[in-house]
Amino acid sequence: GAVVSQHPSWVICKSGTSVKIECRSLDFQATTMFWYRQFPKQSLMLMATSNEGSKATYEQGVEKDKFLINHASLTLSTLTVTSAHPEDSSFYICSGLDRANLNEQFFGPGTRLTVL
């Protein structure tokens, strides 16, 4: 199957700082990417849908000014957590939608964010 990478795999930052997470589709073009958040022992919650060249669509309850998403190319989407606080600590997972592969979503390995 297709491969999606995320960088970094884990990050620790201080409260008030911003953190950028990259999501790359390595061997396919992802016009649509999704960002999820996963709390321990809980489900993946969709945060936003990112379409290349346009603004992201955020799910209800997700602050778009806090979680900035940019999808500037067909292989890269970034999620920036601005002014991070401890409650933002979580596991963030992205996926790319491969339209050439029956719209299957391919997932990255996730990024563990810890805010001190």
Partner 1 sequence: GNSVTQMEGPVTLSEEAFLTINCTYTATGYPSLFWYVQYPGEGLQLLLKATKADDKGSNKGFEATYRKETTSFHLEKGSVQVSDSAVYFCALSGTGANSKLTFGKGITLSVRP
Q: Cα dihedral angle (98, 101, 103, 107), rounded to 10 degrees?
A: -50
Give the position of tokens 């292989």. 75
Site string (32-51) toward partner 1, x via CB under 8 A: x-x------xxxx-x--x--
Contact segment (CB under 8 A) with partner 1 among 13-21, 66-74, 76-84, 100-108 equals 100-108
> Interface with partner 1 includes 17 (CB under 8 A)?
no
Encoded tokens for 30: 């992802």
Contact segment (CB under 8 A) with partner 1 among 14-22, 61-69, 70-78, 92-100 equals 92-100
Q: Cα dihedral angle (97, 74, 58, 37), rounded to 10 degrees?
A: 60
Give the position of tokens 């884990």. 10
Write out the residues near partner 1 by the rule CB under 8 A: 1, 4, 6, 32, 34, 41-44, 46, 49, 93, 95, 97, 103-110
